[in-house]
Chains A and B, each alone.
Chain A
């Protein structure tokens, strides 16, 4: 097995009396597409919020590149190299695609206040670089034609592409994508699959939550199946697709029937 980027060790999360995640353990290998599947309420998004520091863990530890990240603030975890998208597509809706891609860059979070206020050369150089990179990112995510469009006015698929672009602009080593293909039509799913694989091929590790099984089975290198906050099984797509419990609790009998006949 290849190098491990993220390690989740015995993590438990309680919401009051409800145990959303129970003693969960898994590892995300570097350079792969790792997917988390499971029925609604099985704790997938909660797991993302725990990794990115938006929620505190009740018990257990999360290690990124061997370093403990539990207890850090979301922006600190992002700076360590973990980017994310949100289940409800989240963008800077009142700004253009290009502005969105400038806002999200590492240079923006690091820009000095004083040098910016007085328009020092260092600030102007950083702005030029950020603008250039925003153009490149817009092309990379396939929105080269819509650079000047308002993000909030883009069609659903393009908004999903842009939200991935925002996370990518911050230079992450690991990207957590929460239902990147939710509410998107079939044609647009193809665009997103292509984008996600291109990001993986550029060396960024991907962790994916997705309900569209065709997409998950198609692009994942490894899949973790959850139910009621517990691990059902983990393995490559073929192994997980064969697991009786996964089929019963998640994929449904139809999928099992199709598998048997196909």
Chain B
């Protein structure tokens, strides 16, 4: 047991070190750009996993909240003149308020109605963003968004975010923050309460758990982190299009979580890194790529219900059992 934990910690430390020195090894601008994008998708996928994997509520508007966070942060910077460092938390807050207000009515529904309600919500908000020209620039989108403001340090040193590598470290920092907070939460008693809601709502209620409150809290927190990913996306890319709030984005994030491993800690990280890279590699296939995704998704759901992370764990248990028998 102790040995296993030691190995795990060594693995985590090595992985962290690798992620920190990665831009020194992978030097091309294009691969570095992909790395930044992966970081942003990892944050958004981790957030989706909180409500989907740990609370059992299939939110089909997750991409919409990503878009709300992106637009809120960008508009605060561009139109209200806020510093990015004030706009980002405010943008997350605005997204969370949206999440809270939409969660209150939609989370009352049971069974398939929550996914249907959130999907309708996502489509509606997408059209608001795509048509509200005065605020969002409509179909043209927002252009010329500045990178995060430089952070002055003592002795005249300034951290600027003009380079891709600097943005990589910025995103990596928020990836770590997200992982630390969410992994801590799901292992705590408050996280266990979410598992109770996922497991059986009637049973949870009979045990004194306010299931509605648990769902709303989880949903609000999940949208907050989706907003964080969106805010980072806008500042990094410099442009925002209505596509960033499109419901297809919700499905892409859903695929990340499903293939990586729903309800596991590593799952959204694996999915958030693997699928964007796969997407880039398969770019020449264009639309056929989606057919391949569909096929992979069917295979994963059929044979690896807990995705790659679950499959990995099962394989590990199988091998340790075999070794035990010998």
Contact = CB atoms under 8 A, between A and B. Distances in A.
Interface of A: 52, 54, 73-75, 78-79, 83-84, 86, 90-95, 99, 102-109, 111-113, 116-119, 123, 126-127, 130, 166-167, 169-170
Contacts of A166: 203, 207
A113 B217 contact: yes
Interface in B265-294: none
Nearest to A81: B208
Interface stretch (B82-90, B143-151, B186-194): B186-194
Contacts of A126: 189
A97 B190 CA distance: 19
Contact of B200 (A92, A123, A167, A169): A92
B307 to A, nearest CB: 15
B210 interface: yes
A4 B205 CA distance: 25
A117 B184 contact: yes
Nearest to A93: B199
B206 interface: yes
Contacts of B193: 103, 108-109, 111
B190 A112 contact: yes
Interface string B203-223: 111111111000001000100
Given A90-B203, A104-B196, A117-B185, 9 more contacts: A75-B206, A75-B210, A83-B206, A86-B206, A92-B200, A103-B195, A117-B190, A119-B188, A126-B189
A115 to B, nearest CB: 8
A52 B196 contact: no
A164 B221 CA distance: 33
Interface in B171-195: 181, 184-185, 188-193, 195
A170 B189 contact: no
A103 B188 contact: no
B208 A118 contact: no
A86 B203 contact: yes
A168 to B, nearest CB: 10
B202 interface: yes
A99 B196 CA distance: 10
15 contacts: A54-B206, A74-B206, A86-B206, A90-B203, A91-B203, A92-B196, A103-B199, A103-B204, A104-B207, A108-B189, A108-B196, A113-B221, A118-B184, A119-B184, A127-B189
B190 A78 contact: no
A86 B209 CA distance: 16
A107 B203 contact: no
B188 A84 contact: no
Contact of B209 (A84, A109, A112, A118): A109
Contacts of A106: 208
Contacts of B191: 116
A102 B196 CA distance: 10
Nearest to B196: A103
Contacts of A117: 181, 184-185, 188, 190
B205 to A, nearest CB: 4
A166 B205 CA distance: 12
Contact of B207 (A99, A123, A130, A170): A170
B101 to A, nearest CB: 18
Contacts of B199: 92-95, 103
A64 to B, nearest CB: 14
A104 B208 CA distance: 8
B190 A75 contact: no
A206 B304 CA distance: 43
